[in-house]
Amino acid sequence: FDKQYYHNLLSKKGLLTSDQGLFSADEDVVASTTKALVQTYSDDGEQFFSDFGASM
């Protein structure tokens, strides 16, 4: 459970088809928000864990 998950989405190698589909969806508000989060978490794994912890 680390930022490699997000690297895989960026490389179109998502583990779950549904996750890759959300990331690869046509441009719309949800897709652009999802893409921004994937890019952020791919670059900064600590940010993911901080956001994840805050959401719990």
Summarised one tens digit per residue, pLDDT across range 2-25 is: 889 989 988 989 888 888 887 777
CB 47 within 8 A of CB 54: no
What is the dihedral sign for C-alpha 20, 25, 28, 32? positive
Residue 49, SS3? helix
Binding-site residue positions? 2
Residue type, 19: D
Within 10 A of 33 (CB to CB), how many other CB atoms are there? 10
DSSP 3: T
Q: Residue positions in the annotated binding site for Ca(2+)?
A: 2
Q: Is residue 47 scored above 90 in pLDDT?
A: yes
Whole-model pTM: value is 0.71
